Amino acid sequence: MENEIKKAVVLLSGGLDSTTVLAIARDRGFACYCLSFSYGQRQKVELDRAREIARRQGAVTHLVLGLDLDKIGGSALTADIDVPKKRSAAEMQASIPVTYVPGRNTIFLSHAMAWAEVIGAFDLFIGINVLDYSGYPDCRPEYLDAFEKVANLGTRAGVEAGKKFKIHAPLMHLTKKEIIMKGKGMGVDYSLTHSCYDPDGQGRACGQCDACQLRLKGFAEAGFVDPAHYQKVVA
């Protein structure tokens, strides 16, 4: 039906980017079904943030799936590997960092695709970008293009029903400053979000990992004070 509200599955980590993407999907008129993962990550506080964000932004439902990626390991986020701190922008871009989780976006998008097919949602939203990112190979446009083809070739909805999955990455070519400005314009409450890779037991951000540095830089360039709680006062 022409007036039927379109459904979208939104990957929601509880971070700054995915929270902005949820606001964008809502602003575009989608009924949002949020999907988060408890995958053995050290920054589990982000799941609590994701639940609150989904509730406040009016998600139709919020599904949290458990995945034991910590049993696979291979990442500073899922194994006993030190999170890099105080790195320069050049160091961040020099190579794929140890915070890369092997296959994470492919795993997440596969689950999102499966859920989307079941509920009749053919729009998937993900908060990745290629400008202020830490060199992850699954955050590139060519990766998303390839996965979108997989979704349309490997699902019953795509093969029999002629449905077309579309993966939206509205932040793909935005800097962190631009993302924050966009979110602020839509009323996003960034005090709810969590970005840090290595929070303490109270959920406070370290202020020194790549994610914290990119976040702090973005807020400074946008002319706002970062509302996140840090372990130490961050200038």
Mean pLDDT of 186-207: 96
* Category of 159 on φ-ψ map: left (φ > 0), alpha (ψ -120 to 50) or beta: alpha
Distance CA 150, CA 38 (A): 25
Neighbour-count burial of 85, counting CB atoms closer than 10 A to its CB (0-12 exposed, 13-18 middle, 19+ buried): middle
Q: Please, which pLDDT band fits residue 1 given cuts at 50, 70 and 90?
A: very low
Q: Give the pair of three-digit tokens for residue 228.
A: 């996140």
Question: What's the pLDDT tens digit per position in 143-183?
Answer: 999 999 999 999 999 898 888 999 999 999 999 999 999 99
- Asked if residues 228 and 191 have their Cβ atoms less than 8 Å apart, the reply is yes
Q: Give the pair of three-digit tokens for residue 179.
A: 């993302």
What pairs with residue 64 in β-bridges?
36
Tell me how far the alpha carbon of residue 41 is from its chain's centroid.
14
pLDDT higher than 60, residue 100: yes
pLDDT higher than 60, residue 130: yes
pLDDT higher than 50, residue 127: yes
- pLDDT value at residue 131: 78
Q: Cβ atoms within 10 A of the Cβ of 26, count?
A: 18
Mean pLDDT of 2-7: 80
- pLDDT value at residue 233: 62
pLDDT higher than 80, residue 90: yes
The pTM (predicted TM-score) of the whole model is 0.94
Q: How far apart are the first and last CA of the chain?
A: 53
Q: Report the DSSP pairing between strands 123-125 and 166-168.
A: parallel
The residue ranking higher by pLDDT, 89 or 185, is 185
Collapsed DSSP state (helix, strand, coil) of residue 29: coil
Average pLDDT over the chain, rounded to whole? 93
- pLDDT value at residue 161: 81
- Asked if residues 116 and 60 have their Cβ atoms less than 8 Å apart, the reply is no
Distance CA 79, CA 185 (A): 38
CATH of domain 7-190: 3.40.50.620
Q: Give the pair of three-digit tokens for residue 168.
A: 């939206």
